[in-house]
Copies of this chain bind each other. A is one copy, B any other.
Amino acid sequence: MTLDAVLARIDETLPEAVDRLMELLRIPSVSTDPAYAEACSKAADWLVEDLRALGFDASVRPTPGHPMVVARSEGAGRHILFYGHYDVQPVDPLNLWDRDPFDPELQDGPKGKLIRGRGASDDKGQLMTFLEACRAWKAVHGTLPGNLTIFLEGEEESGSPSLVPFMEENADELRADLALICDTGLFADKPAIVTMLRGLAGDEVTITGPSKDLHSGMYGGLAMNPLRLLTRILGGMFDDQGRITIPGFYDDVRDLPDEIRAQWQGLGFDHAGFLGEVGLSVPAGEQDRTPLEMLWSRPTAEINGLWGGYQGAGSKTVIPSQAHAKLTFRLVPGMDPDKVQELFRDWVRAQVPADCTVSFTPKAGAPASEMAIDDPAFEAARQALSEEWGQPAAFVGCGGSIPIAGHFKTVLGMDAMLIGFGRDDDQIHSPNEKYDLDCFHKGIRSWARVLDRIAG
Mark interface residues in A348-375 (1 if CB within 8 Å of B CB, else 0).
0000011110000001000000000000
Count the copies.
2
- Chain B's closest residue to A269 (CB) is B222
> Closest residue of chain B to A203, judged by CB?
B315
Any B CB within 8 A of the CB of A302: yes
Tell me the residues in window 306-326 of chain A with beta carbons closer than 8 Å to chain B beta carbons: 306-311, 314-320, 323-324, 326
Q: Residue A246 at the B interface, CB < 8 A?
A: no
Q: Evaluate contact between B282 and A353: CB separation under 8 angstroms.
A: yes
Between A and B, 9 residue pairs with Cβ closer than 8 Å are A216-B300, A218-B399, A220-B399, A228-B284, A232-B238, A302-B317, A304-B318, A305-B320, A307-B307
Q: Give, as a whole number of angstroms, the nearest-CB distance from A424 to chain B.
A: 11
The answer for the CA separation of A209 and B275 in the assembled complex, in Å, is 11
CB-CB under 8 A for A217 and B400, given A223-B280, A274-B222: yes
How far does the alpha carbon of A218 sit from the alpha carbon of B299 in the complex, in Å?
13
Contact partner of A317 (CB less than 8 A), chosen from B220, B225, B328, B353, is B328
A250 CB to closest chain B CB (Å) equals 13
Asked if B221 contacts A298 (CB within 8 A), the reply is yes
Complex Cα spacing A328 to B225, Å? 12
Measured between beta carbons, the chain B residues less than 8 angstroms from A220 are 295, 300, 302, 330, 399
Q: Given the complex of chains A and B, what is the CA–CA distance between A281 and B211 in angstroms?
A: 12
Interface residues of A (CB under 8 A from B): 198, 200, 202, 204, 209-212, 214-225, 227-228, 230-238, 271, 274-275, 278-285, 291, 294-295, 298-300, 302-311, 314-320, 323-324, 326, 328, 330, 353-356, 363, 398-401
Give the contacting residue for A225; candidates B216, B223, B284; CB below 8 A. B284
Q: Which residues of B contact A314 (CB under 8 A)?
A: 363
CB distance from A128 to the nearest CB of B (A): 26
Residues of chain B lying within 8 A (CB to CB) of residue A198: 217
